[in-house]
Structure 1
Amino acid sequence: MRVLLTGSSGWLGRFLAPLLTRAGHAVTGLDIAPGAHTDTIGSVADAGLIERLFAEHRFEAVVHAGALHKPDIVRYPAQAFVDVNVTGTLHLLEAAVRHGADRFVFTSTTSLMITQAIRDEVASQAVWLDERTAPLAPRNIYGVTKRAAEELCRLTHDLHGLPVIALRVARFFPEDDDTDAVPAGENLKANEFLNRRLTVEDCAAAHLAALEAAPRLGWGVYVVSAPPPFTRADAARLKGDAAGMIAERFPEAPALYASRGWQLPQSIGRVYDPSAIERDLGFRCRTDFAAVLKALEAGGPLPFAHDPGYVPPKEMNRLAGK
């Protein structure tokens, strides 16, 4: 298929573009920053550019991974989030309908499910989060605009029949967390594979699976995260004795963590449940917490990326004044 990939220079795009190509698709990359997989430099907020690209390339599919993200809140005004995340998504959806594309995959985020109360972990037990979680009350402009974009995707499917899959992906960024500092770095990322993280490779693979399944499903929203080694029945104990539960499920974990000077989480306040995407699309992340422990035991490289110095290409361009 002829596929338009937005965000082709970003962290996900650099893994997703070659994966799509290996699957036999002809990929055109669009991003505001140059990159190895970017063919056109420009913004999804530019309606004229989007129309020109569709007219020239006759795209059969769109994978919309380009966006302003949560760390961008300190860099850009709220209007920029609306322009890119909402208006840009609308431009792409409308062009896809006008030009007869037959599928659309939207990169959404689990962040839009996190209310301030969930963020503050005020509940007496771990909050179990899946596609049925409601009411949705995103706590920042990033979540609000992603939620609005999801609704545009749903509405476009309802009105025009365009098959659309929205993927609420968990954390896969390589840099350090911009809010949580203890534990830091690789330790934090390893812990998050218990409840709220996936690798960028698995994230890319989920998009390919969604692209293939979209015409069959028509419309769907799916949480994408590494499968947690817990069930809803564990929610109360996770809040007060996560380390104990982890040690029971993974007896090797305490010693492996101690050998690195790492800390197991004492409390887990939320768990993302990706069982729906496994049920409907047959997709399951390959890397989970067990894979992290296996890597620690083998003394080899960790199965996830960690780069505290990572700077998104768009920010490198902005800082350089381009």
Structure 2
Amino acid sequence: MKILLTGSSGWLGRTLAPVLVNRGDTVIGLDIAPGAYTQAIGSVADRALIDRLFEEHLFDAVLHAGALHKPDIARYPTQAFVDVNITGTLALLEAAVRTGASRFVFTSTTSLMISTDIREAKGDAAVWLDEGRDSFRPRNIYGVTKLAAEQLCRLFHDDHGLPVLVLRTGRFFPEEDDTHRALSGENMKANELLHRRLTVEDAAAAHVAALDRAPAIGFGTYILSAPTPFARADVAELKRDAPAVIARLYPDAADLYARMGWSLPASIDRVYDAGLAERELGFRCATDFGSVLAALRSGGASPVAHDADYVSPKEQTKATN
């Protein structure tokens, strides 16, 4: 397939592009920052650029991973989020329909499912989040614009028959969390594999699975996260005493963590259930919390990438201009 990959210089894009190339796809990367897999420099909000790329290449598929993200709220005005995340998505959808693309995969976020109440961990039980939840109050412009873009994706499927799959990814960024610093980055990322994180390699593999399954499914929305070991029946205890639940499932976890000077989560306020992606896409993350414990037992490298000094390519480019 000939594929347009937006966000090709970013953390996900530069992991995903070589996977596609190695399996024989032709990838044209679009990003505002240069990169090894980026052939076109520019914004998805530049409609003239988008139209020109589609006319020149007649893409079979679009993988739309480019966006402004939550940390960008501190760096960019609200209008920029509307321009990139909504107007840019619209430009891509219109061009895909006009030129006869056979499929469209949109990288969304689980963040749009998190209201202020969930974010502030109100309530006496963890919130179990799956695709059955369809009423959202995103707490910031990032979530609002990604939700609007999802609705555009659904509209274009309904109105034009374009096969579109929406992937709501959990956390896979390598940098430090910009709001929580109580734990080391490595410790926090390991904990999050229990309920809200996946590796960037698994995120890339999920996009490939979605690309292949989109025509058969038509339209679908999927949460992507490492498979949680928890069950719905655990939600009250997870909020009250998460280590007790973890101890039943992983009896040596506390000792392994103690050797590292790490801490298990005292309370878990939300759990992402990625079961639908496994059932419909045939995709299951290869790395989970058990993978972390296996690495700790063997003394091997952590399966989760952590880079406290990570700066995105677009910010590096911005700093040098």
TM-score (norm 2): 0.99
CA deviations 1:242-294 (Å, max 9, x no partner) are 01111111011011000000000110000000000001011000000000100
Equivalent residue runs for 1:137-176 within 5 Å: 137-176=137-176
How far has the Cα of 1:319 moved from its partner? Answer: 1.2
Provide the residue aligned with 1:293 in structure 2. Answer: 293
CA-CA distance at 1:134 after TM superposition:
3.5
CA distance in 2, matches of 1:241, 1:309: 33
Root-mean-square deviation (CA, aligned residues, Å) is 0.5
**What CA distance in whole angstroms lies between the structure 1 residues aligned with 2:147 and 2:266?**
31
Mapping 1:82-101, distance limit 5 Å: 82-101=82-101
> Residues of 2 paired with 1:283 and 1:118: CA distance?
27
Q: Deviations over 1:68-91 (max 9, x none)?
A: 000000000000000000000000
Query: 1 CA distance for matches of 2:215 and 2:5?
Result: 18
Cα distance in 2 for partners of 1:294, 1:56 equals 48
**Normalised by the size of structure 1, how large is the TM-score?**
0.99
1-side partners of 2:282 and 2:317: how far apart?
Answer: 39
Offset at residue 304 of structure 1 (A) = 1.1
Q: How does 1:248-263 map to 2 (within 5 A)?
A: 248-263=248-263
Residue in 1 that maps onto 2:42 = 42
| Alignment-derived partner of residue 236 in structure 2 | 236
Matched residue, 2:246: 246
SS in 1 for 2:238: helix
Gaps of 5+ in 1: none
- For residue 63 of structure 1, what is the aligned residue in structure 2? 63
1:77-116 → structure 2 map (5 Å cutoff): 77-116=77-116
Distance across 2 between alignment mates of 1:141 and 1:150:
14
Deviating beyond 2 angstroms after TM superposition, the runs of 4 or more aligned structure 1 residues are: none
Q: Once the two structures are superposed, what CA deviation does each residue of 1:149-184 show, in whole Å capped at 9, x if it has no partner?
A: 000000000000000000000000000000011112
Identity %: 66
Q: Secondary structure at the match of 1:248?
A: helix
Residue type at the aligned position of 2:83: D
CA offsets, 1:175-223, max 9 Å, x none?
Answer: 0000011112100000000000000000000000000000000000000
Tell me by how many angstroms 1:118 deviates: 0.3
Deviation per CA, 1:37-66, whole angstroms, max 9, x where unpaired?
100100000000001000111101000000
Q: How many residues get paired?
A: 321
Equivalent position of 2:179 in the other structure: 179
Cα distance in structure 2, aligned partners of 1:172 and 1:235? 23
Distance 1:135 1:97 in 2: 28
Whole-angstrom CA distance in 2 between matches of 1:178 and 1:137: 21
CA distance in 2, matches of 1:38, 1:113: 31
Map Cα deviations across residues 90-148 of structure 1 (whole Å, 9 max, x no partner): 00000000000000000000000000000000011000001111321100000000000
**Which residue number corresponds to residue 212 of structure 1?**
212
- Structure 2 counterpart SS, 1:220: strand
Counterparts of 1:311 and 1:88, CA distance in 2? 23
Query: Match for residue 17 of structure 2?
Result: 17
Q: How far apart, in 1, do the equivalents of 2:5 and 2:123 lie?
A: 39
Match of 1:212, SS?
Answer: helix
For 1:110-149, list aligned pairs within 5 A: 110-149=110-149
Structure 2 residue runs of 5 or longer lacking an equivalent are none
